[in-house]
Structure 1
């Protein structure tokens, strides 16, 4: 009969993995470094996760579960423009995780060698954010607050992409929602 897993130990390993992903990236991080950071032996780690990829999937899932409730947002009490601004604010990858831009860039760089990482990111970090804005635009359209027939997909993509452009340009991300809303609202309202 196997011993029960220690939840605190598992969490220490997951946190060490998340930190190494940010610091070293997927390709450069090693199981040995993670084990050392978590204060465990490599066999202890391998008894829990057979591969680095499996460990990273669980580390990502841990972060996504912590963020899941934040993707559900009731904006019905806000004025339409304010609701749009809040949805754009929540598109910011760093809204939930200050290290998200670094992780997203690393996973994009791994797309050729480990495309599964990018797919996990799309499914759990990108699409829920975009769906939040697209759904809001649909509700605003039903209320007559925005033009009918908007291309919600493109609007959400433009808004999300603004964070990456600002990141690479060195622009402060705190100003992005107001600037994006100021530029787009007149065109969609």
Structure 2
């Protein structure tokens, strides 16, 4: 976080309260969904979190710094929600399937896709937000799927001529396409993606 870490003394000498920090972060993420970055205010966030504006400024230098931490918090929450699996030890198809499930923006938070769409909509006014989204939320998720596909390719389970980078982007984008079409997404949709794609990329689709 910007400034002292949770549990450490704040600039005023008082210990940080992790529960209070989380309440502020959650309020920030909710305001990003409801109002978007440009319209949300620190006053609204403070009111939603039940704190004063000075409490926010003792922790973060401004709205952008707070949003950076809100994105990081959301990504860590998604990582923490993943079941503890060794993807390399799974059968090839299941390793691919689990990686596709984990690339879903809404894996841990149904509102995450709206939040990400809001950042895309802010691009003309605050292009730095889209870069922040790519760096803190998109690329780390896609790296997992890309690494799994590359590993399966190296071990001969998927086609050697497969463009793993393009396929990673396609799988990620499919969740946005499903959202725009009104599909509830989630695990059932991820399974449909896997069923369709695996038959096309696997050297032995039954593996």
Do the structures match in fold with TM over 0.5?
Answer: yes
Greater percentage in helix:
1
Partners in 1 of 2:84 and 2:170 — Cα distance?
21
Residue 188, structure 1, aligned to residue 201, structure 2: yes
Provide, for residues 82-102 of structure 1, a one-character-per-residue CA deviation record: whole Å limited to 9, x for no partner: 211111111110003221111
Q: How far 1:5 sits from its partner (Å)?
A: 4.2
Q: Does 1:96 align with 2:119?
A: no
TM-superposed deviation, 1:141: 1.4
Q: 1:168 to 1:114 in 2, by over 3 A?
A: same
Query: Any idea what SS the aligned residue of 1:94 has?
Result: coil
CA distance in 2, matches of 1:120, 1:181: 29
- Number of residues paired by the alignment? 189
Rounded to whole Å, the distance in 2 between the matches of 1:12 and 1:75 is 33
Q: Give 1:107 shift.
A: 0.2
User: Which consecutive residues of structure 1, in runs of 5 or more, have no partner in the other structure?
Assistant: none
Question: What is the TM-score normalised by the length of structure 1?
Answer: 0.90
CA contact (8 A) 1:107 1:118 kept: yes
Say what the alpha-carbon RMSD is for the aligned residues: 2.0
Q: Structure 2 unaligned segments of length 5 or more: list them.
A: 1-10, 203-207
Structure 2 CA distance for aligned equivalents of residues 38 and 181 of structure 1: 40
Q: Do the aligned partners of 2:78 and 2:107 also contact (CA within 8 Å) in 1?
A: no
CA apart distance, 1:6: 2.6
What is the deviation of 1:66?
3.0
| Residues 1:160 and 1:87: Cα distance change in structure 2 (over 3 Å) | same
Larger deviation, residues 159-168 vs 65-74: 65-74
Task: Look up the SS of the partner of 1:33 in the other structure.
Answer: helix
1:129-148 matches, cutoff 5 A = 129-148=141-160
Q: TM-score, normalised by structure 2?
A: 0.83
* C-alpha deviation, 1:68, in angstroms: 4.1
